[in-house]
Structure 1
Amino acid sequence: MTEPLWTAREALAATGGLLTDSKDWVAEGVSIDTRTLKPNDLFVVLKDQRDGHDFVPDAMARGAVAAVVERGDCGPGPHLLVSDALDGLRALARASRERSKAIRVAVTGSVGKTSVKEALAAVFRSVGKAHWSEKSYNNHWGVPLTLARMPRSTGRAVFEMGMNHAGEIRDLTTLVRPHVALITRIGPAHLENLGSMEAIADAKSEIYEGLLPDGVAIYPADDAFASRLASHAKETAAGFLLDFGVTPGAAISVTGFESGPGGSTGQVSVLGKTVPFALRAVGDHWAWNAAAIFAAGIASGIDAEQVADALAEVEPEAGRGRAAKIAFPDGEFTLLDDSYNANPVSMRAGLSVLAATAPDRGGKRIAVLGEMLELGPDAPALHADLADAVRAAGVSTAVLCGKLMKHLQDALPAGIETIYALDAEAGVGALAEQLGDGDVVFIKGSNASGVHRIARALTEGRAFGGGKDR
């Protein structure tokens, strides 16, 4: 039998609400979306583009045991009536935290946070009962949902935290109260909202404010803002500071790293002890990711050798650098799907993977790049500045999607063929005309640029007139 997550009485005590109809239900999960709701879930109505109250009848039809609602006239079934459903979800999250003995790790950063979170979750699963943020559930509803879903028997849990504005991570970390807080790297993501790189570093540093007394604050030694991050950490309840990177002298330092089409290998110095490791992921940026994972792993009480063993089995997620061979009418090409979001730092890291991936049978390197958003007034220059990375990657053809990518097109040298597409739909057709046998195709851009749809069209064969309908 699945472990009970919430009884009616426990949810009532956590939220201070009012139970209607049945008062003896038992929930095995928590859901905010009827499309993914499972039988015996507790459904929480939230208001976004739609009012969750409208979906209560559907939730009950799909097997929800009860619904957390703000009004009682929204449909059948047992209800837990609260004044504010999001506050009710946060109350469940706090109660879940308080009843659990799990070691909690919080992860943020401008680049790499989801990859590090997923790999760290795999490390945690290898040594016991683990819990982690699904997908990129890292915002004001995703974090409390993840915490409210945490089984009471969890041994270790990792929570991804994102933000668009100052103060948002503070709210998330004080809800989770982590034992370990990690910042991956600082980059110009959300520069439009925060105004400066210093402000971004300060906003990310809020993650340390939720640390439990004597918690561990982890920061990147190689980052330009390392001292600023460390200074923030010292003003919190952190009892220990750990730095990581490729800088000699860092507490966790990658001392050797090689990456190729089949994966990566390296050695890491963990508090003076050298440990070899291997990854199925590729790209020089994985040296920093690996160091961060080792740092969070040992801070969570896991031996470095156990971390290395688990890392060797981690598969890259779709959209985050996964390589795949794809057959098409003219032969076969390699797809490097790194299409999940982008900023200048992650874009350069991804292009380094393309540079390290050799085409087959005389093929060429093709870069499909979507515009990067939320970069503020420097956005045109930041796009144009990618020209050197595109050239260094050995790109023959660049398919550029979105208005801001026009600045990169203007900056690229004449030797690189450029195709400018206003949107991803136009980019699919342009790319299909360029593809040849043995080519390597790299895809990356902000989510709103839509280039992930190009990756999907290639994977499903729709770019060549086959596969599923859109």
Structure 2
Amino acid sequence: MLDPHLPLPFTAAVHPEARAARRLTWDSREAGPDVAFVALPGERTHGNAFVEQALAAGAPFVLTDLDVPRAVRVADAQAALFGWARAERAHAPLVVGVTGSAGKTTAKSYVAAALDALFMPVFNTMPAIACFLIESGRAGRPLVVEMGIDRVGEMAELVDLVRPDVGVITTIGPAHLEQLGSIEGIAREKGVILRDVAGQPVRGLVGSQAAAFYPGVDSYGFGDVTFAGEALTVTPGGASFRFGGMPVTLPLASTVQAEAAVLGLQLAREAGLPLPAAAARLGGVSVPGGRYRVHPGRFTVIDDAYNASPVAVRAALDALHGWAPAGGGRRISVLGRMLELGPTEQALHAEVGAYARERADLTFGVGAFGRELGERAFESVPALTAALLAEVRDEDVVLVKASRGISWTPERRAQEGVGLDVVVQALLTARDGAPPGR
């Protein structure tokens, strides 16, 4: 419980009616009898505008600079939240921070399973991380935090907040180039996670793809790395390999998930945890929707539509290529626009599209760079969906991947070819209902 009447790591005037809460939120719609509200500055509106709404919903307290009932009144709610998070994080026995151009959520999920740790939910903004640290710091379990960035200086801010004991970089590739400038800029900014707030090295681990950017830092994965899994086999049923002589099986997983499992097992070994138990937990990992989630059936749908960058799309296409569909089934890639790639975006889309043609039997592209991405190109998501549903057959394997464009209107998403989760849902509905096209 988060009791505002206990000593706090910041100066505050606590209203006598303020009560303890189980959780914190900066979204007033989530406030309730067990969820306190933090009034933070926003891009358009300050959270103070929603304090009354949170109180009406029964929030046990509100962290704000306003003089209202149940207030924990401070000069700066955001500074107080971050200071509170740092104080609570200090109680955690181990904190692992995960970043990279792709595979962060997958790595986070597998590391958390191996360590039997608490981990961040989907949102990985600074306020979300702060709330997670406050709520979980005293739980007595390791914490795993996803640390994504899209601008220069942001990783330093995250490191100052999270202060990870272990820094992990999964991959380095073109993503958020509009703000980070170049691959070298991306590697430099993400590499900040490998040092503490004083600039001293912390325990660092980098994936095999990222190892070339960080000479001297321990690497993980398969092949020529510091900590390697052995005898990797990937089939439509999943991935299997050996680690330290122990067999590991991951249902419905690809190479990306297997590399994340190696990372998790190495961290479990360093933490002194029994590896057989860690491996058993890895077998039960379920990543959030949109991150290489396999839906088997009359035809198989691979939902990898949560987000996309060139390195992530290539990894997904490699996984698709590894499938050997039965009964004459085909490997089909359905690709949409990748965002924030800067002035080289057309060339990067063309490179990914050429790779798709090598790895898939049939390629679809949609949106602004549909022709670069697929042999069959469509201007809008509805047009793509109609053609795809008419084409897909029993035993096909269909990969769907694109950026989300989450702040865009539904109309613009449909036109630009982002947010292809709607295509995934259409495929699943058709598969489980009416027969496919042929």
Specify if TM > 0.5: yes
| 2:22 is the alignment partner of 1:28 | yes
Is the aligned partner of 1:308 residue 2:300? no
Q: Does the alignment pair 1:447 with 2:412?
A: no
Q: Is the 8 A contact 1:281 1:316 kept in 2?
A: no
- The letter for the 1-side match of 2:93 is A
1:9 maps to which residue? 5
Counterpart-to-counterpart distance in 2, 1:459 and 1:78: 47
> After the TM superposition, which of the residue ranges 14-23 and 251-260 deviates more from structure 2?
14-23
Give me the whole-angstrom Cα distance separating, in 1, the residues matched to 2:273 and 2:219.
17
- Residues 37 and 353 of structure 1: is their aligned pair in 2 closer, same or farther, counting only changes over 3 Å? farther
Of 85, 105, 121, the residue aligned with 2:77 is 85
Instruction: State whether residues 429 and 463 of structure 1, in contact with CA within 8 Å, keep that contact through their aligned partners in structure 2.
Output: no
Matched, 1:164 2:161: no
> What corresponds to 2:108 in structure 1?
117
Higher strand content, 1 or 2: 1
| Structure 1 residue 38, shift from structure 2 partner | 4.8
Q: How much does 1:166 deviate?
A: 1.9
The 1:7–1:185 alpha-carbon spacing in structure 2 relative to 1, beyond 3 Å, is: same
Q: Which amino acid aligns with 2:218?
A: L
Equivalent position of 2:411 in the other structure? none
Shift of the 39–118 alpha-carbon distance from structure 1 to 2, 3 Å rule, reads farther
Shift of 1:215: 4.1
Structure 2 unaligned segments of length 5 or more: list them: 406-417
Larger deviation, residues 45-54 vs 157-166: 45-54
- CA displacement at 1:323 relative to structure 2: 1.2
Q: Which amino acid in the other structure matches residue 424 of structure 2?
A: A
TM-fit CA distance, 1:121 = 1.5
Going from structure 1 to structure 2, the CA distance change for 1:79 and 1:187 (only over 3 Å counts) comes to same
Q: In 2, Cα distance between the equivalents of 1:308 and 1:366?
A: 32
Contact 1:252–1:294 (CA<8 Å) still a contact in 2?
no
Q: In the alignment, what sits opposite 2:162?
A: 176
- TM-superposed CA distance for 1:112, in Å, is 0.9
Matched, 1:244 2:202: no
Cα distance in 2 between the residues matched to 1:291 and 1:405: 36
Instruction: Determine the structure 2 residue equivalent to 1:413.
Output: none
Contact preservation (8 Å) 2:404, 2:420 = yes
Report the CA distance shift for 1:381/1:358 in structure 2 as closer, same or farther (over 3 A): same
Asked if structure 2 preserves the Cα contact closer than 8 Å seen for 1:180 and 1:216, the reply is yes
Note closer, same or farther for the CA distance 1:386–1:175 as it changes in structure 2 (3 Å cut): same
Corresponding residue number in structure 2 for 1:278: 249
Structure 1 residue 284: deviation in Å? 2.5
Alignment of 1:15-94 (within 5 A): 15-23=10-18, 25-48=19-42, 49-72=44-67, 77-94=69-86
Percent of aligned pairs with the same residue?
Answer: 31
State yes or no: 1:348 paired with 2:314: yes
Paired letter, 2:389: A
Give the TM-score normalised by the residue count of structure 2. 0.87
| Contact in 1 for aligned 2:24/2:131 (Cα 8 Å) | yes
- Displacement, 1:461? 5.7
Residue of structure 1 equivalent to 2:365: 400
Partner residue of 1:434?
391
* Residue equivalent to 1:412: none
**Matches of 1:182 and 1:211, distance apart in 2:** 16
From 186, 191, 197, the equivalent of 1:200 is 186
Task: Provide the residue aligned with 1:262 in structure 2.
Answer: 237
Residue 409 of structure 2: aligned partner = none
Which of the numbers 183, 199, 203 marks the counterpart of 1:216? 203
Distance 1:62 1:299, change over 3 A: farther
Q: How many residues align?
A: 420
Which residue of structure 2 lines up, in the alignment, with residue 108 of structure 1?
99
The superposition leaves residues 384-419 of structure 1 with CA deviations (integer Å, 9 ceiling, x where unpaired) of 1123432232322x331221333334xxxxxxx513
Q: What is the rounded CA distance, in whole Å, between the counterparts of 2:250 and 2:340 in structure 1?
A: 32
Query: Contact 2:88–2:134 at 8 Å: present in 1 too?
Result: yes
Q: Do 2:111 and 2:260's aligned partners in 1 also have CA atoms closer than 8 Å?
A: no
Residues of 2 paired with 1:85 and 1:456: CA distance? 40
Residues 150 and 45 of structure 1, relative CA distance in 2, 3 Å threshold: same
Change beyond 3 A, Cα 1:36–1:278: farther
Instruction: Answer yes or no: is 1:95 the counterpart of 2:87.
Output: yes
Alignment partners' CA distance in 2, 1:458 and 1:214? 47
Is 2:381 the counterpart of 1:386? Answer: no
Q: Deviations over 1:290-348 (max 9, x none)?
A: 2322233333333433332221221243211111135xxxxx32111011111111101
Deviation at 1:463, TM superposition (A): 11
Task: Say yes or no: does 1:145 pair with 2:131.
Answer: yes
SS in 2 for 1:149: helix
Q: Look up the equivalent residue of 1:420 and give its one-letter code.
A: F
Hey, what's the Cα distance between the residues in 1 that align with 2:21 and 2:238? 42
> What is the CA distance between 1:32 and its match in structure 2?
1.8
Counterpart for residue 155 of structure 1: 141
Task: Please give the alpha-carbon distance, in whole angstroms, between the structure 2 residues aligned to 1:123 and 1:63.
Answer: 38
Q: Can you give the 5+ residue segments of structure 1 that lack an aligned partner in the other structure?
A: 231-240, 327-331, 410-416, 466-470
Residue identity in the other structure for 2:83:
A
Task: Select which of 394, 416, 419 maps to 2:377.
Answer: 419
Quickly say closer, same or farther: Cα 1:363–1:163, change in 2 above 3 A. same
Q: 1:65 to 1:457 in 2, by over 3 A?
A: farther
Change (3 A) 1:53 1:430: farther
Q: CA RMSD in A?
A: 2.6
Instruction: State the secondary structure of the residue aligned to 1:366.
Output: strand
